[in-house]
Amino acid sequence: MADAPVPRLFVRVQRVWQLAVGILLTITGFFMPLIVNLNTVPVMRFFRLAMHEERHLLIYSALLLVLMNILRALPHYIGIYWVADSLRFEYRGKRAALMNGLLIVLLLILTYSLIEAINGIHYDFGLPAILMTGVLVMYDRLHYNYVSLTKRTLFIAVTLTAVQFLDIMPAAGALPVGRGELSRDIKRAAEVLELESDLNVTSVILLLALLLIALLIFILLRDENRLREASELKEANARIQMEAFQLEVQNRTLKETQYLVHDLKSPLSVVRTLEGVLRLQNEPEPDSLEAETYDRMEKAMDQMSMRISQLLTMDRKDRFTVADLVHDVLAQISIESYAPHVSAETEVPGAVLYANQGLLSRAVVNLIVNAVQAVPEDREPRVEFTALRKDGHIVLAVTDNGKGVSPELKETVWTHGVSGRGSSGLGLAFVKTAAERFGGHVEIESEPDQGTTIAVWIPEEEKADDE
């Protein structure tokens, strides 16, 4: 007995471009202190002015410090999130979201270490970093993949900006925040200059305002994700319904063929019975002309019975002329009350088709029935059935003077059908299925209240001989 396969952890890259950009952003974060530092951001200038001239400039100094920290931190925080979000860890075929969270933590610790090694600057992994790590891990586990990456990144940027104000808040001195040398200097200066309250109020207001904005963004993202997820589920249900509808159309096609077989075999059985009765009554001589006539009649009926039975196999194809098809269609509708309102004309009676004649004629009859039903009751129906040659196809067109089809319905008419007076709405779908079964297609032209022309295009088997 073979050993059971050992469960393995797999990682799959979902978006290569996102992974590449995430890595690039993270690497950019390694070198941001070389670009954004005390030489390019005038933190110390305002700090010195506050100590010697205008004490309230200390608030500007503190805000510039926050701005400097944000510019340094944004690339690697966003880059690490993009990297983790671009990867999918799977264990036993299921998503292992915990691994994405661990990856974020490890990458942040590694990034802080590399920044210190490259720039000689120690980044304190304090409360702001811990909070942002928690936000990234939680955010990744929520798996809001139905929302654009740009919107998700905006939430991270606003949240990161908010938590940076903890570093300059004197009231948060008991917490593991603001342990950098410059942060401590600013908070000590605020104490000396009696600006602790001002700095606390400023920090709290900006912190709460940004957290409120982040919360609103998060709620919007959550709602959008739910709506998009519901929309996708709705589309999936629609696809299931479509498949069910197509199955129903196929069943309808089979039933139509079965009904046709039954309708044709019933009178044939009567003719066969009458032939037998006449043979018994007349008792013709074995080699006489009358006996030969009866034999031919019986043989013809056997052949017809066999051909009718073959209609049950819808994929069966035979060669027949357009004239044969037109004759078949007119014969089927000849007993209907609407028959006097239907005219037929063909420019290519000798053109040959290679298809199932019974199924194709039934499709045309469906078009005629649908055309008659499309005419309002206060209007006399006028239905024209024409056959012509175009672009290597035989075009079988049925035109009516009915109420027409709206432009919106044209897009879905072959899917949902057009329901006439008490019809099932499957007629046109049946026609489309029959046409495509033999390598053809269908087209529709219609104007509201002016009428409709529906054409079935079937490839011509060979050039007509009668022209």
| DSSP codes, 389-406 | EETTEEEEEEE--SS---
Q: DSSP letters of 269-337?
A: HHHHHHHHHHHHHH---TTSHHHHHHHHHHHHHHHHHHHHHGGGSTT--EEEEHHHHHHHHHHHHTTST
pLDDT at residue 124, rounded to an integer: 66
pLDDT at residue 251, rounded to an integer: 72
- Which is more confidently placed, 30 or 265? 30
Question: Is this prediction's pTM over 0.75?
Answer: no
Q: What CATH architecture applies to the domain 315-462?
A: 2-Layer Sandwich (3.30)
Q: Tell me the per-residue pLDDT of 127-180, one tens digit each, with 9 for 90 and over.
A: 666 777 777 777 666 777 778 888 888 988 898 888 889 888 888 877 777 677
- Which is more confidently placed, 436 or 7? 436
Q: What angle do CA 258, 260, 261 make, to 5 degrees?
A: 65
Q: Tell me the per-residue pLDDT of 168-203, one tens digit each, with 9 for 90 and over.
A: 888 887 777 767 788 888 888 888 888 999 999 999
Query: CA-CA distance, 108 to 135, in Å (whole number)?
Result: 13
pLDDT at residue 309, rounded to an integer: 64
Minimum mean pLDDT range among 172-181, 193-202, 330-339, 366-375 = 172-181
Strand-pair category, 318-321 with 352-355:
antiparallel
pLDDT at residue 447, rounded to an integer: 84
Give me the helices (H) in 120-192, please: 127-142, 149-163, 181-192
Q: Tell me the per-residue pLDDT of 401-420, one tens digit each, with 9 for 90 and over.
A: 988 887 777 767 766 544 44
pLDDT over 70, % of the chain: 84
Q: Tell me the per-residue pLDDT of 65-124, one tens digit each, with 9 for 90 and over.
A: 999 989 998 998 899 888 888 888 887 777 777 787 788 888 888 888 888 888 877 776
Burial tier of 12 (Cβ tally within 10 Å: 0-12, 13-18, 19+): exposed
- The DSSP 8-state label assigned to residue 458 in this structure reads E
Is residue 268 within 8 A of residue 302, CB to CB? The reply is no
Burial tier of 402 (Cβ tally within 10 Å: 0-12, 13-18, 19+): buried
- The DSSP 8-state label assigned to residue 41 in this structure reads S
Q: Tell me the per-residue pLDDT of 240-256, one tens digit each, with 9 for 90 and over.
A: 888 777 777 667 766 76
Mean pLDDT of 31-41: 89
Place of tokens 């044969």: 324
pLDDT at residue 425, rounded to an integer: 46
Q: Tell me the per-residue pLDDT of 9-30, one tens digit each, with 9 for 90 and over.
A: 778 888 899 899 999 999 998 8
Three-state SS for 176? Answer: coil
In the chain, ranges of CATH 3.30.565.10 domains: 315-462
Is residue 355 within 8 A of residue 321, CB to CB? The reply is no
82-86, 111-115, 212-216, 275-279: range with highest mean pLDDT = 212-216
pLDDT at residue 422, rounded to an integer: 42
Measure the N-to-C terminal CA separation of the chain; round to a whole number of Å: 74
Query: CA-CA distance, 306 to 294, in Å (whole number)?
Result: 18
